[in-house]
Amino acid sequence: MTGEDQARPSTGYIFPQTEENMSRWRKWWRVANIEQLVTFFALGALSIILMSMIAYSTVFGQDLGENIDFFRNEGLALGEIVGSWFEMFFYLVGAISLLAGAFGILDYVGRCISDVLKSSYLTDSTFWTEGKLYAVAVWLLVALNIASILFFSSQPLVLLLAQSSLSGVVMFVYCILLIQLNRRALPDAIKIRGARLGAMIWAVLAFGVLSALLVYSQVGDLFGG
């Protein structure tokens, strides 16, 4: 946007443990907790409750299939109750939600890849800036996704199932690394502990069990079990 590279790779920074800095950190931590409580937990729970209430009041007890079929038939039911315009609105909201999620994943993965490459392997390169690495990573991911959609065009549901399954495995590894980094790299004053550490351990166990069940089912299918 500015014509100049703004992004800079970072290997992390730990601020000096002064009372002034700790006061600033506590203020930031309080704001961060409020933001997560409102945008992630409250709005997320409200969305789930509203969608569950809509499904219960429109198609509960009916045999409408699963996954994509259920979503399509719920839209048809809403169209009959409210109007044909609402059916299209329902599908549009679903499409926008999936698109926003896809953009978020592309941005996050692109930033991670470019930061790791620049800070670990291309530190001294004047050509490969983090902005260029980010652009290449994002467009390679886009090309890979297009190729996957074309390859699985007859069974797009396979992509959704694979994504949801692999996300659990990634979260299992991610939670372990997050605990390790937090407990070893951060100063004692801001290390994760207490209920938050317990929640992270619970997340590791939960995603670990789901990942093990996924591997077990896939191995069973592979050997005809």
Share of the chain above pLDDT 90, in %: 24
What's the first-to-final CA gap in the chain, in angstroms?
Answer: 55
**Assigned token pair, 86:** 């609402």
Closest C-alpha to 191, from 204, 201, 176, 178: 178
Q: What is the DSSP string of 129-171?
A: -HHHHHHHHHHHHHHHHHHHHHHTTT-HHHHHHHHHHHHHHHH
**Residue 104 and residue 106: Cα distance in Å, rounded?**
6
Q: What pTM was computed for the model?
A: 0.65
Q: Interhelix angle for 68-81 vs 84-120, to 10°? A: 140
> Is residue 108 included in any domain, yes or no?
no
> Is residue 71 included in any domain, yes or no?
no
Q: What confidence score (pLDDT) does residue 134 get?
A: 92
Q: What confidence score (pLDDT) does residue 56 get?
A: 86
> Is residue 150 included in any domain, yes or no?
no
What's the pLDDT band for 224 if we cut at 50, 70, 90? low
pLDDT of 135-152, one tens digit each? Answer: 999 999 899 888 877 876
Where in the sequence is the domain holding 162, given as residue range(s)?
Answer: 155-225
What is the pLDDT averaged over residues 118-146?
88
**Residue 161 and residue 67: Cα distance in Å, rounded?**
10
Q: How many domains does the chain have?
A: 1
pLDDT of 63-73, one tens digit each? Answer: 766 666 777 88
DSSP summary character for residue 224: T
**Residue 188 and residue 14: Cα distance in Å, rounded?**
12
> Is residue 80 included in any domain, yes or no?
no
